Amino acid sequence: MIRLPLALFLLGGLLPAQDSPKELQDRLKATVSFLASDEMKGRQVGTAEGEKAALWMAEQFEKIGLEKVTPDYVQKFGKGAPNSPRGINVIGALKGTIDEAVALCCHPTPVGVREGTI
């Protein structure tokens, strides 16, 4: 079963206020459908699909106006051993009117393909 990151639902709440509930529902469904599609092959860390998912999320962060915490919203990470695959976290910030900010991080939960099944 594919688990969906909480960030997807938080993104929905940050979309423009003029979106109707139906538009918001459609946008969230499109996001989940894209990330969970067979084309993404489970978004395994270190794969082209994992990178594609992270870069797509970075584009979404920019579209909704989150501030960059890194030069391009992305933070690469390793899975332990020096030669292990590298993945990507996506990080943006929503600054408040006082000295507070909300950090929104997305790690597109990768499951990959196991025994021919996503």
Give the Cα separation of 10 and 12 in Å (integer). 5
Look up tokens 């939960």; give the residue.
Answer: 109
pTM tops 0.75, yes or no: no
Task: Specify whether the CB–CB gap between 112 and 47 falls below 8 A.
Answer: yes
For residue range 1-47, list pLDDT tens digits in order: 344 444 444 455 555 556 788 888 888 888 888 888 888 888 877 88
* Bridge partners, residue 45, by sequence: none
90-115 tens-digit pLDDT: 889 888 777 877 777 776 656 666 67
C-alpha count within 13 angstroms, C-beta hemisphere, residue 11: 27
- Our count of domains for the chain comes to 1
Identify the bridge partners of residue 106 per DSSP, sorted by sequence position: 90
**pLDDT at 50 (0 to 100):** 85
pLDDT in tens, 39-94: 888 887 788 888 888 899 899 889 888 899 899 998 888 767 777 777 888 889 88
> Does the residue 36 lie in any domain?
yes
Would strands 67-68 and 101-106 be described as parallel, antiparallel, or unpaired? unpaired
Q: Kindly state whether residue 113 falls inside one of the protein's structural domains.
A: no
d(CA 49, CA 91): 19
- Residue 112 forms part of a structural domain: no
Give the pair of three-digit tokens for residue 14. Answer: 């940050």
Is residue 78 a part of any domain in this protein?
A: yes
Q: Which domain holds residue 14?
A: 6-106
Given a contact cutoff of 8 angstroms between Cβ atoms, the answer to whether 31 and 23 are in contact is no
**Tokens for 64?**
């909704």
Q: Is residue 118 part of a domain?
A: no
CA distance 74 to 76: 6
Q: Residue 26 falls within a domain, yes or no?
A: yes
Q: Flag whether 114 is in a domain.
A: no
